[in-house]
Amino acid sequence: MTTISPSQTTRHRRGRLRRFSSALILAALFVASGSCSRYEPPPFRLNLEGLDRTEADSSGTLRYSDEKLQQIVDATTALFGTPDEPFVFEETELDIALLRRAAGPVSSDEHGNPRGLYREHCAHCHGVTGDGAGPTALFLNPYPRDFRPGVFKFTSTHQGGKPTDEDLRRTMVRGIPGTAMPSFALLPEEDLDALIEYVKYLSMRGESEQLIFPLVIDDEEELDEDILLEEVLEPVVGLWQSSTLPQFVVVPEEPRPSDRAASIAAGRELFQGERGCAKCHGPTGLGDGTERNYDMWNNKKLNLDREDVAARWSLPLQELRPRNLRHGVYRGGRRPLDIYRRIYAGVKGTPMPAAGPPYGQPARSDAMPEGSKNLSSAQIWNLVDYVLSLPNEEHPEIASAERPAESPKAGSPGGAGG
């Protein structure tokens, strides 16, 4: 028998306490890991960008009450389903098999076909809802595209037109240089098809949601399927289908001029003078025009203080820099045709205006009176040639350090092996 001294008793107790607490921690870990493995399907986030939820009418009732917002969610879900179980009406002409390939959690079906491609490759930046506010979005400039307004910067279509499938494919295959959008050229063709379809789906869904808002909030209509199809889906889908028809694709009316030097000189005239390109892009094309610019995803946040913006938008205000045309980095593609289309139809959603005529109007010809604002095909080619000549143009006001055309011949041997 041993006698236990008081100090030994406390030590004994402490040891027991420690064992007990470690057991508790272990138990907590088990519970936590159990709840992690239980999958909760994420919802589409209701588009509340810019809404002031505290807004009330004269009688003091909230304009955006929880019940009303729930009605909007229900109506949108009735039209498009959920992130895990997409649904589309025939009218959208979207392929449900492709949508299923892109939607839902990352996995594969019984034939080994991938599922959840959107969440695997896109949602990190563009968000599950396609709101351009995924976890990485805050750190990027420019922000990832918010698909919900249905506006895409780089399209081959006329002013106000939607992107064609080919445009979306090109953006995914080439990436967008100068932004965080990488190339997905290595994805199999069918996966790209699925993602294109899903981007269109998210876009149509987001636009429909915006059309449902006034129906519920202002008109207080009882929404049935007929109303939804007629007043929501039809206008949204109609524009997607009509504006991407082959005849709405911008095609130059004449080939690129063969006398490059003369074309560049004419382009310089237009850039510096009549067209006012220099106002934003700067007289030297460095993108240092004096105006502050904001794109359509940001300009509604202007003149609000930071707290207001933080309360009502997912992302803070972001300024839009006019492109520095001397970097030789072309976000919408570097083919002369790409630049032609950027100038012809503008960069959608940004202050970059369309220089070509809207669809169906004749372009300006020499026979037309001065003062007509549209540029002719030849003039647009002049601007294209001038813009493409800028990265390698010598300019007395620009230090050589600002030019990107560094010589790749230099380079010291060595450097750490990976």
Partner 1 sequence: MGKFWSLVFLSVPVLGVAVFVAAASWGYWFPQNVSAHGGQIDHLFMVILWLTGAVFLATEIVLAVSLWRFDGAKSPRARFSRGNMRIELGLAAVVGLLLVFITVYQLEDWAEAKIRQPDLPPTVEVNGRQFEWVMRYPGPNGELGDADDLFSPGDLHVPVDEDILVSLVSEDVLHSFYLPNLRIKQDAVPGMRIPVWFRATETGVFDLVCAELCGWGHYKMAGRLIVESRADYEAFLTRLEAEQNEDGFEEQQPTAANTSQRHPSVAEVVYRRAAR
> Considering the rule CB under 8 A, would residue 188 count as an interface residue with partner 1?
no
The answer to whether 107 contacts partner 1 (rule: CB under 8 A) is no
Q: Which two tokens stand for residue 155?
A: 């399209």
Measured CA to CA, the distance from residue 28 to residue 26 in angstroms comes to 5
Does residue 253 belong to the site contacting partner 1 (CB under 8 A)?
yes
Quick one: tokens of 206?
């987001």
Pick from 34, 188, 246, 371 the residue near partner 1 by CB under 8 A. 246
Integer Cα distance of 383 and 271 in angstroms: 7
Q: With CB under 8 A, what is the number of residues at the site for partner 1?
A: 66
Helices 66-80 and 189-217, interaxial angle, to 10°? 140
Check residue 373 for interaction with partner 1 (CB under 8 A): no
Cα(90)–Cα(81) distance, integer angstroms: 14
For the chain, what's the residue count? 418
Tell me which stretch binds partner 1 (CB under 8 A): 43-51, 62-70, 100-108, 350-358.
Answer: 350-358
Which residue of 242, 259, 273, 274 would you call a contact of partner 1, by CB under 8 A? 242
Considering only 3-11, 17-25, 41-49, 327-335, which stretch makes contact with partner 1 by CB under 8 A? Answer: 327-335
Position 361 contacts partner 1 (CB under 8 A): yes
Q: Taking the CA of residue 77 as centre, how many other CA atoms within 13 Å lie in the half-sphere pointing to its CB?
A: 14
Binding partner 1 (rule: CB under 8 A), the pick from 241, 261, 311, 316 is 241
Report in angstroms the alpha-carbon separations of 359 from 48, 78, 253, 344.
Answer: 33, 34, 13, 11
Residue 243, interface with partner 1 (CB under 8 A)? yes
Binding mask 128-167 for partner 1 (x = CB under 8 A): --------x---------------------xxxx------
Nearest distance, CB of residue 377 and partner 1, angstroms? 9
Q: Are 124 and 132 in contact (CB under 8 A)?
A: no
Alpha-carbon 332 to chain mean position: 13
DSSP 337-401: HHHHHHHHH--TTSS----SPPTTSPPP-TTSPTT--PPPHHHHHHHHHHHHHGGG---TTS-GG
340 contact partners, CB below 8 Å, separation of at least 6: 250, 252, 380, 381, 384
d(CA 392, CA 403): 8
**Does residue number 255 form part of the binding site for partner 1 (CB under 8 A)?**
yes
Counting contacts by CB under 8 A, is residue 395 touching partner 1? no
- By CB under 8 A, tell whether 262 contacts partner 1: no
Q: Among 69-77, 292-300, 306-314, 403-411, which window interacts with partner 1 (CB under 8 A)?
A: 403-411
Smallest separation, CB 243 to partner 1 (Å): 5
In angstroms, give the least distance from the CB of 409 to partner 1: 7
Distance of CA 83 to the CA centre of its chain: 18
Of residues 15-44, those binding partner 1 (CB under 8 A) = none
User: Least distance (Å) from partner 1 to the CB of residue 397?
Assistant: 20
Residues paired with residue 62 on neighbouring β-strands, in sequence order: 56
Determine which residue in the list 43, 50, 276, 362 makes contact with partner 1, applying CB under 8 A: 362
Q: Does residue 353 belong to the site contacting partner 1 (CB under 8 A)?
A: no
Give yes or no for residue 127 binding partner 1 (CB under 8 A).
no
Q: Which helix (H) or strand (E) holds 107?
A: strand 107-108
Cα–Cα dist 157/170, whole Å? 14
* Interface ranges with partner 1 (CB under 8 A): 121, 124, 136, 158-161, 173-175, 177, 180, 182-183, 185-186, 235, 238-239, 241-243, 245-248, 250-256, 328, 334-337, 340-341, 356-363, 381, 388-389, 391-392, 405-411, 413-418
